[in-house]
Structure 1
Amino acid sequence: MTLGGKRIVILGGSSGIGLAVAQAASREGAAAVIVSSRQARIDAALATLPAGTEGRAADLADEAAVRALFQDLGAYDHMVFTAGDALRLGPLAATDLAAARQVFELRYWGAFLAAKHGAGGIRAGGSIVFTSGTAGRRSQAGWTLAASVCAAMEGLTRALAVELAPIRVNIVSPGVVATPLWGAMPPPARDALFEQLGQKLPLGHVGSAEEVAETYLYLIRQTYGTGQVVVVDGGGTLV
């Protein structure tokens, strides 16, 4: 399937994996629409994308905002959901319930709302590609919230693949990827962590947003796959 002329809505498309998806799709002739909560990030991202690329600001955890967004967007071909914030890690005993619930607001409920209000605008042959993470299948101590939201996203994907058929609904499960979500960590410490983690992976490096973006494009093109989880983690779940 060619992406030329296809309109692809990328929720979380102003940075990281989402921006890499928008850039890769645009190179193949797709018309990208990037959606983010911050106009400044949208403007910065649009500077890296072809003229005419659309940018929309919306709070993806707010149902009224998501409803209005898709009513205004009209028809399109594919939805990609990469929106997320840094996952909270820490021991269960020290986890505040309100903070724990907040983890699901954007990553899970944002995706839920996007499907609820956005599925009706997807043209025949279209698809939705969500995002989870390998914490849902190989967790560690202190990863309760990360594992829970990733597993919940994969369950949502399978359920919607049945309910929204023939729209295809799939999900990408990345391992460690160097994106702005790590921005709160000082660069020397972040680089040292990436080096340490990369040495443990069979492929010898942590992922880049551009590498992972190719998986989203594959799932957009793959017209005979739905309800599937595609892991792209440098082999991390093998070791």
Structure 2
Amino acid sequence: MSLSSLKHLTKLVGARVLVMGGTSGIGFSVAEAAMQHGAHIIISGSDANKLRDALTRLRQSYVSQANGPARFLLAAYGSAADEAIRGCTCDLADPEVIESNVEGLLRFASSSGLIDHVVFTAGNAFDITPPKNATIAAVHDTMMVRSTAPIIVAKYLPQYTNMAPGGSFTITGGSTATKPQPNWSILASASAAVEGLARGLAVDLQPLRVNCVAPGVVHTEIFNRVAEERRELLLNTFKKASTTGTVGQAEDLAEAYLYCMKDKYVTGTVISSNGGRLLV
């Protein structure tokens, strides 16, 4: 079987895909999915240990896939796992160094050619602060990585990215922008800002395509921070607040990001994947 006969599966073969926040959760699944579609992967995260672990897992997956169903795609790499899958630490939370960090990451990711697709799934741990308790620090903690950092990334994209309809920048919002939980006003504003940013950047960075994926509740490693009894209660509550009776899985959300990379005609769009949460 030749690659030319797999036109729907080979749109990402040989593409350079940078996943910011690719060391865990949705970002890791996006990186793995893009790899399985034949892309060269660069991931970033703020924690060096998590980055090392994620690179090891992706490279192991690469080797196993190279001998499995995806071998026709992965044959296009022509490179070893450590060349096809690379990583770089990048702290997005510190306003004093974010610009140099972002430019350093983009320079690293484009060292062998322009980046075709940048996916932004980075986030940080924060406390839910009700509006009545709002402080500048609380707002900053919620906004900095989620809605401010993508603006700084966008500033440097033209120098390091394939600025054509075949290239893309996909950022991450959330269903909270449309249906906030009580006391989640600050997070809702961050999510809504990202949706507006995607539309604005689709105009400002044209012809590069810019889109936003807005997930609902997704069962990622963040739930491991919650005590087991409390975790199950939370998950059951979220399941009941959907039409599917489920919570999202990272590997399912990854499909939305793949779509944004592969459809050369989609831009300025918000892709929602929330299990029907907005309908309940």
Instruction: Pick one of 207, 220, 234 that aligns with 1:166.
Output: 207
Q: Is 2:34–2:41's contact at 8 Å kept on the other side of the alignment?
A: yes
Residues 151-173 of structure 1, C-alpha deviation per residue, up to 9 Å, x if partnerless?
01111111100010000000000
Q: Which residue is 1:37 aligned to?
A: 46
**Paired residue secondary structure (1:3):** coil
Q: Which residue is 1:57 aligned to?
A: 89
Distance 2:185 2:196 in 1: 17
Distance 2:141 2:125 in 1: 12
Distance 2:228 2:29 in 1: 21
Root-mean-square deviation (CA, aligned residues, Å) is 1.4
Q: How does 1:1-20 map to 2 (within 5 A)?
A: 2-20=11-29
More displaced, 7-16 or 131-140? 131-140
**Paired residue secondary structure (2:91):** coil
TM-score normalised according to structure 1 size: 0.95
Q: Is 1:174–1:212's contact at 8 Å kept on the other side of the alignment?
A: yes
**Paired residue secondary structure (1:170):** strand
The answer on 1:117 being equivalent to 2:153 is: no
Instruction: Pick one of 107, 113, 128 that aligns with 1:89.
Output: 128
More displaced, 197-206 or 181-190? 181-190
Distance 1:231 1:87 in 2: 23
More displaced, 185-194 or 219-228? 185-194
Q: Which has the higher strand share?
A: 1
Q: Which residue is 1:133 aligned to?
A: 174
Structure 1 unmatched ranges of 5 or more? none
Q: How does 1:214-233 map to 2 (within 5 A)?
A: 214-233=255-274
Q: Which residue is 1:104 aligned to?
A: 143
Distance 1:144 1:47 in 2: 38
The answer on 1:154 being equivalent to 2:203 is: no
The answer on 1:237 being equivalent to 2:246 is: no
Q: Which residue is 2:3 aligned to?
A: none
Distance 2:220 2:50 in 1: 14
Structure 2 unmatched ranges of 5 or more? 1-7, 63-80
Q: Is 1:89–1:144's contact at 8 Å kept on the other side of the alignment?
A: no
Q: Which residue is 1:47 aligned to?
A: 56
Offset of residue 222 of structure 1: 1.0
Q: Which residue is 1:28 aligned to?
A: 37
Residues 216-236 of structure 1, C-alpha deviation per residue, up to 9 Å, x if partnerless?
001111111100001100000
Q: Is 2:118–2:170's contact at 8 Å kept on the other side of the alignment?
A: yes
Q: Which residue is 1:187 aligned to?
A: 228
**Paired residue secondary structure (1:48):** helix
Aligned residue-pair number = 239
Offset of residue 87 of structure 1: 4.9
Q: Is 1:86–1:182's contact at 8 Å kept on the other side of the alignment?
A: no
- Moved segments of 4+, more than 4 Å: none
Offset of residue 138 of structure 1: 1.1
Residues 26-85 of structure 1, C-alpha deviation per residue, up to 9 Å, x if partnerless?
111111100101110011111221322101001124111112221232211000000002
Offset of residue 118 of structure 1: 2.6
Distance 2:16 2:150 in 1: 19
**Paired residue secondary structure (2:105):** helix
Distance 2:45 2:157 in 1: 15
Which of the pair has more CA radius of gyration? 2
